[in-house]
Amino acid sequence: MDQYLKNKVVLVTGGSRGIGNAIAVKAAQAGANVAICARGRESLDKAVTQLQQISPDILGIQTDVSQSKDVTACIKQINDAWGAVDILINNAGIYRYAGILENSTEDWDAQFAVNLKGPFLMTHAVVPGMKAQKSGTIIFISSMVAVMSIPQHSCYSATKWGLDGFAGSIGQELCEYGIKVHTLRPGMTDTSIFDEIGKPDMDIDWIEPEEIADAVEFLLRLPKHAQVPELNYTSTAHRKEY
């Protein structure tokens, strides 16, 4: 594979499973120094073993992205090993399917902590290094529910709408420093986000995580001057509604 990311430092949050893992595999194949972070030690170790079969330049860092101290320690470990992060993939997220009356305060807080606070903390931690080198790429893995409303998704949708607003604002703020910001919105993807609650029984053609990784590769291969602020990768089922 073309080593188009040779010597680049890539951090993928939620990189042990699903979309994040597929992105990490692509980055390792492209020659990057790849760091993945996740909360679960077992899945993290498994993913690191998998990635080290592709490249020796792999770090697996147990991190809760909603905790400032964890994020600070994660970035320090990467900086000590390789220097500044060149590419941040804000992928970590959790999903709870519930109507407004069934949506508990605990679930609401948990989704906002991981899906919105986490990307803020990670972005806040890597931007100084990107500004210093006058280059960098930040990709937010959002969702089609950020731009379309679906019943029983009020909290998850709210986190993704918020994420899109955050990404749009910092994209304008950081472009003068050579830092690109992209929002990628997958449609219904067959990924590990459903592990805790079960995959919905839907008669659709599910998107595979590797397809979203291909979309990330497209964004990372763009010419230096090219700006693609938002990219929707949806299925026929969503396209009928959006």
- The span from the CA of 111 to the CA of 184, in Å, is 19
What CA–CA distance (Å, rounded) separates 228 from 151? 29
Residue 79 has a CB neighbour count (10 Å cut-off) of: 15
Distance CA 167, CA 169 (A): 5
Tell me how far apart the alpha carbons of residues 118 and 105 are, in angstroms, rounded to a whole number. 18
SS3 9: strand
Instruction: Give the residue numbers marked as catalytic.
Output: 156
CA 120 to chain centre: 12
**At a CB cut-off of 8 Å and minimum separation 6, what does 61 contact?**
35, 36, 37, 44, 73, 74, 77, 78
Bridging pattern class, strands 136-141 and 179-186: parallel
CA distance 65 to 134: 25
